[in-house]
Structure 1
Amino acid sequence: MFLRFLAFLIPAMAALSVAARPETSLPPTVAKALAAAQIPSSAVGVVVQEVGATTPRLELNAGTAMNPASTMKLVTTLAALELLGPAYTWKTSAWSNAPLDNGVLAGDLVLRGGADPRLTFEQFWLLLRQVRARGVRQIAGDLVLDRGLIAAAEADSHFDDKPLRPYNVGPDALLLNFKAVRLRLVADADKQTVMALAEPEPVNLDITNLIKLRAGNGGCGDWKESLRADLSQHANRWRLVLTGSYPAACGEKIWNHGLLPHPAYIHGVFEQLWRELGGSLRGDVRDGAVPADARQLGEIESPSLAEIVRDINKYSNNVMARQLFLTLGIESLAERGRRPARTEDADAAVRGWLDSRGLRFPELVLDNGSGLSRRERIAAGNLARLLSVAWQSPLMPEFVASLPLNAVDGTMKKRLNGNGITGRAHIKTGTLEGVKTIAGYVLDRNGRQQIVVFLVNHANAGAAQAAQDALLTWVYESAR
């Protein structure tokens, strides 16, 4: 009788053992889409694993170090939530040790940067209003910028040959408005002109608009491809020349640029707003520190880290991610502000946190924490492990809610709308030339959460979206 039981038990256990092993063959729909894109399976890293399971359901090249593009933001944002807490905020303030008499500040006004990732034009206006409300009208000295929390070298960030693109803006302790100038292009068919309306309007920036209106009955198409922007410096002023043609069918469009070095941008926007508030600045702009005997004239506080993380992941904001990464370095220093934080400080902080959570990623390469890098590396299997740890974290709700929701918002807004999967995948995306990645969670049709990671590193990676969407659909539909 016992032998009969063993005869039944041993094959059953063997079957369970086989079932526990991850599948290594891609689903047919995924394999077909990759073949159509001419991407070999050797160029992808894939993991599918149910939350709480001990082994993956599907695994391919999971241990290979790959460029994750913006899915690296998952590492930075989860580390920040757990190290800093969801209520963490940044502060930007105004100071002076000069006497104030009849509206005249007889000395310098100092702006102290707190490395705020989202110091907007509107918030900066509120800070200057506070200074104005304290009775300051004319600043007889200089505008001094205290940018000492972040090393100056970190601001050099030209990732490619497109330095004016917003994604190329580098971090700064006094990052203002993402260093952006928003150009609203307005086609006027009657006058056969194209207006370019700037916001903000830094007083040290001159814009020369030479854009021609292009007639035709065709659609708007990729209108940016026919436009060009060139920035040049002339003494203490800057000139932006706009050339090319703009289709009349486009109507109004927004064309964003990251312009000027950080100090020049702050100076130009400060002068614009300060004049609008009825103030004047007699001196120049320079770097410096808040004097020990200075008094505070105003302060503004950022939104909470939970909200900042949502912006970073939903919209894949690179400079915000870099600011957050360096904030981990700032807070890790034995004495905050003792010296400017550098990338290596942030790197050490993240690795220390990973170690504390039992996550050892020997292949991990952190360059700036945003994924806008040719150097950053992580394996698909370890990215899946990170997502597993995140799901067990007390801060899981804040983290998961920060991820783009398919067919609803962020970088997944236009993907996977229909077939029951709408709104069931929280997925961080990543794109670079030669890199296409996704990582996150899918709620399958049986109500189980599935971790999904799909990294593609190949010259044809730009064509990999169909394969990635096919995998997400397969995970949703093929629930066990």
Structure 2
Amino acid sequence: MRRALLSASVSVLLTACAHAPATPEGGRGDTLPGVAKALLETLEADGALAGVAVVDARTGEPLFTHRQNVRLLPASTMKVVSTSAALSALGADFRFVTPVFLEGSQTGGLFLGDVVAQASGDPSLGSWRFPETALACDRIAEAFQARGIHQWRGSVRIAGTDGVEGGMGPGWAWDDAAYAYSAAPTPFVFRENVVDLALRRAPGATCDAAPSLEWTPTFAPLAAVVRVDVNAERANLACVRGGGGVRCTWRSPTGGPCPQAAAVKLSVDAPQELFAACVDDALARRGVTRLPLSLEAPTAPMPPIPMPLVELTSPPLSELVRVTNKESLNLYAERLGMRFARERTGQEGYAALRTALGAELLRRGVPAKDLRPVDGSGLSRYNLATPRGMARVIFTSLQEPYGAALVDSLPLLGVDGTLAGRPTTRSTAGRIRAKTGTLTGQKCFVGVAERPQDPEHPRVVFALMLGNMDEGTKPSANETFDTFSTALVELPLR
């Protein structure tokens, strides 16, 4: 009953908040503190943990706090830490460059030797998200043609990865390893280390019939074994790694309708093999014949001499950060974090990342007790952060030249990214940008709110962090954010 009454009171407060007069400091009326405290106390009475920090975006003055020093899992709001650090060190216009060389000799239209790509850590290489990166293999094939090469005998190799850490991050969930969101941030990334698997049943087929498998890209070097389960509680497709490929189970509900199609994005362990297959495919489409390695060369090869073939360049860092935060891309966040670590320490790997991020946070006035970074994406269950620390990261970013690029990368409430589906009001539309973070039982929102009706505090930075949430917690995490963000824009701060 207490929870229902409090939820009802929050609803009543918000219906008339647009023109509510300010109350004296410490008052609980139609103010942000009044609404937020009632909301958070309701959650805490139900066993949840809640922390909030709201500060002025120009001065850093604390405007509202609630357990701002409680340590919780930041989840994907850690991406704000890693992307802002990368922007600070490299600049918004920085681009990754992946050089591709030929090592061997050319006689007429025949090339004998290897295609060698120098790993740059570019997370967008070969990605479908950008026109300039999606055509990476085609650019290599075009460069072959420009050299007059019609036949080739050799291999595709990746250089620059020896001794560089590239596995899954510490504290990641290993049972998620098969899925795209857990793709390992290897030193060489291609097509985001992801392939797509689609399952289809023939028209009229029964649920226990084996489905057909369709890979995208068609040359994907990944094997999958799919079994069907017709006695499940609900329909779903679940996959795990094993045996050099993946094992998937396609479940259908007992006595329910038989699903006709399903799709999943799967991670690949060996992106260099995916890259090699892509290069082979692009060359074949342009009529460049790949000779078997077992054939004798028509002429004796010269000693390998590296010859520049093409440079594959990423979009500017500002665009990479934008997709990272809008879409919450774990692989991008990790690779941008690793590039930052290399810039600061000369090394990559999670130890170097922790060292580099720790030093960067201290530079911003964020002590270790307020933010303990372990990875760059927030997948690790070892990360810890306070609302005070997360708000400080946003605030200090706004004081630096890249601040606008970082804010632009945050999802816009009701419009795009991970906030696309959230409701807005006339006053909140276009005025809330926030990075979201979600792990089991955890939900966080870190961002910026515009308050054009408030000349004293027209822009504020906020961090709302929730823990110990379960499926029955009321209000839900998203409902909590909806109420809090509306009050943050519409209501007086005191």
Distance in 2 of aligned mates of 1:455 and 1:441: 15
**Mapped contact 1:149–1:330 kept (Cα < 8 A):** no
Distance in 1 of aligned mates of 2:360 and 2:178: 35
What is the percentage of aligned positions where both structures have the same residue?
A: 22
Matches of residues 48-447 of structure 1 in structure 2 within 5 Å?
48-121=54-127, 122-133=134-145, 134-148=147-161, 151-155=164-168, 159-185=173-199, 189=203, 196-202=213-219, 204-207=221-224, 225-229=235-239, 232-233=242-243, 238=245, 243-245=250-252, 254-278=263-287, 279-280=289-290, 282-283=292-293, 293-333=305-345, 341-418=348-425, 420-444=427-451, 446=453
Q: Which moved more, 1:170-179 or 1:152-161?
A: 152-161
Distance in 2 of aligned mates of 1:160 and 1:353: 29
**Mapped contact 1:110–1:143 kept (Cα < 8 A):** yes
Q: Which moved more, 1:91-100 or 1:425-434?
A: 91-100
Q: Which moved more, 1:265-274 or 1:395-404?
A: 265-274
**Mapped contact 1:82–1:395 kept (Cα < 8 A):** yes
Distance in 1 of aligned mates of 2:380 and 2:283: 37
> What letter matches 2:411 in structure 1?
P
How far off its partner does 1:367 sit?
1.4
The answer on 1:478 being equivalent to 2:488 is: no
How far off its partner does 1:324 sit?
0.2
**Mapped contact 1:150–1:326 kept (Cα < 8 A):** no
Unaligned runs of at least 5 residues, structure 2 = 1-22, 128-133, 295-302
Distance in 2 of aligned mates of 1:186 and 1:415: 32
Distance in 2 of aligned mates of 1:375 and 1:155: 14
Q: Which moved more, 1:455-464 or 1:418-427?
A: 455-464
**Mapped contact 1:207–1:242 kept (Cα < 8 A):** no
* Alignment CA distance shift 1:401-1:453 (3 Å): same
Distance in 2 of aligned mates of 1:470 and 1:245: 38
* Alignment CA distance shift 1:138-1:155 (3 Å): farther
> What letter matches 2:238 in structure 1?
R
> What letter matches 1:314 in structure 2?
K
**Mapped contact 1:314–1:404 kept (Cα < 8 A):** yes
Partner of residue 39, structure 1: 47
**Mapped contact 1:83–1:353 kept (Cα < 8 A):** no
Partner SS state of residue 174, structure 2? coil
* Alignment CA distance shift 1:137-1:414 (3 Å): same
**Mapped contact 2:51–2:387 kept (Cα < 8 A):** yes
> What letter matches 1:202 in structure 2?
F
Unaligned runs of at least 5 residues, structure 1 = 1-14, 215-221, 285-290, 335-339
Please give the TM-score of this superposition, normalised by the length of structure 2.
Answer: 0.78
* Alignment CA distance shift 1:310-1:292 (3 Å): farther
* Alignment CA distance shift 1:442-1:103 (3 Å): same
**Mapped contact 1:130–1:297 kept (Cα < 8 A):** no
How far off its partner does 1:93 sit?
2.2
Distance in 1 of aligned mates of 2:327 and 2:404: 18
How far off its partner does 1:109 sit?
1.8
Distance in 1 of aligned mates of 2:37 and 2:353: 42
Number of residue equivalences:
439
How far off its partner does 1:309 sit?
0.4
Q: Which moved more, 1:86-95 or 1:146-155?
A: 146-155
Distance in 1 of aligned mates of 2:202 and 2:426: 42
How far off its partner does 1:445 sit?
5.7
Partner SS state of residue 416, structure 1? coil
Q: Which string of whole-angstrom CA distances, capped at 9 and with x for unpartnered residues, describes residues 40-60 of structure 1?
A: 4xx221112232355322211
